[in-house]
Amino acid sequence: MENSSIEVHNLSVSYQNVPVLWDIDFTLPKGQIVGIIGPNGSGKSTLLKAIMGLIPLASGNVKVLNKNLSLVRDQLAYVPQRETVDWNFPASVEDVVLMGRYKKGNLFRRLTKIDKVIAQESIEKVKLEKYKGRQISQLSGGQQQRVFIARALAQGASIYIMDEPFVGVDMSTEKTILDLLIQMKEEGKTIIIVHHDIQTVSNYFDYIVMLNTRLIAHGPTNEVLTEENLQATYGGQLNIISKIQSIIKEKEFPLREKGFEDK
């Protein structure tokens, strides 16, 4: 598709033989705020990681701006979940945001003045200029989330991929992030957000992907966010699959031996 930001074809991912994503197929538009929604364990974060090329795919492929990921990597900026890092790391807000300026080509060189200016601007955009020099463990959860977003802004990408940026943040952070997203959209950026709070979906997103291990629906929010699709995503028969997945996980069922499926 001409105007697509991301295309996903027949994508499947499994963790230790348990399928987490099955045959996902969709195309996302450019310049919109896209929500990927689904219940816990529906494979949302996995889908992001698959798009970013962070995990191996069982099948399928991903195109970013109609190209292979490796050719357009610097057009993607990733905001991981806040809890995935240890915030006790010896770094200030500025140090972390400057990491957004690290590129494959400049890692052996010193950062330039321009890098510092861009980092400063990014920090201002998320309203953390007062905390610029502060050790990152001394920030609130919402402020830490904003540090991650500022780091992504500093990357200067055209597509932003965020994993649950609204989890555990205070009201003022939520508002700051939302205002920022709208501003970014006006600048023509594409923003893809994993989100699990169904109440806020229609306020936040122009376009949604509804996911529960399988793709349930995707399209403009007002068309796709129907009772029927919600039922299919959050309730319904697919729930049985997620239950089985969680049983496998909880009881630590022995993994199947290799080659077993072929017999």
> Which residues are near another protein by CB under 8 A?
49, 52-54, 70, 73-74, 76, 78, 80, 84-86, 89-92, 95-96, 99, 102-104, 107-108, 135, 151, 155
Which residue lies nearer to another protein by CB, 80 or 215? Answer: 80
CB of 144 to another protein, least distance (A): 12
What distance lies between CA 8 and its chain's CA centroid? 15
Q: What are 100's two structure tokens?
A: 């957004």
Which residue lies nearer to another protein by CB, 8 or 79? Answer: 79
CB of 108 to another protein, least distance (A): 6
CB of 183 to another protein, least distance (A): 23
CB of 222 to another protein, least distance (A): 32
Query: Amino acid identity of 195?
Result: H
Which residue lies nearer to another protein by CB, 11 or 217? Answer: 11
CB of 198 to another protein, least distance (A): 26
Which residue lies nearer to another protein by CB, 108 or 227? Answer: 108
Which residue lies nearer to another protein by CB, 40 or 84? Answer: 84
Neighbours of 9 (CB within 10 A): 14
Separation of alpha carbons 186 and 154, rounded Å: 17
Q: 8 in helix, strand or coil?
A: strand
CB of 89 to another protein, least distance (A): 5
- Sheet arrangement for strand 76-79: 76-79, 159-163, 190-195, 33-37, 207-212, 214-220
Crossing angle (nearest 10°) for helices 171-186 and 141-154: 20
Identify which of 13, 16, 33, 8 has the alpha carbon closest to the alpha carbon of residue 192: 33
Which residue lies nearer to another protein by CB, 46 or 229? Answer: 46
Which residue lies nearer to another protein by CB, 4 or 75? Answer: 75
CB of 112 to another protein, least distance (A): 14
Q: What are 172's two structure tokens?
A: 């003022």
Reduced to 3 DSSP states, what percent helix, strand and coil does the chain have, rounded to the nearest 5? Answer: 40, 25, 35
Q: For tokens 């699709």, what's the residue?
A: 229
Q: What are 62's two structure tokens?
A: 């991903």
The DSSP output letter for 92 is B
Roughly how many angstroms between the first and final C-alpha of the chain, as a whole number?
41
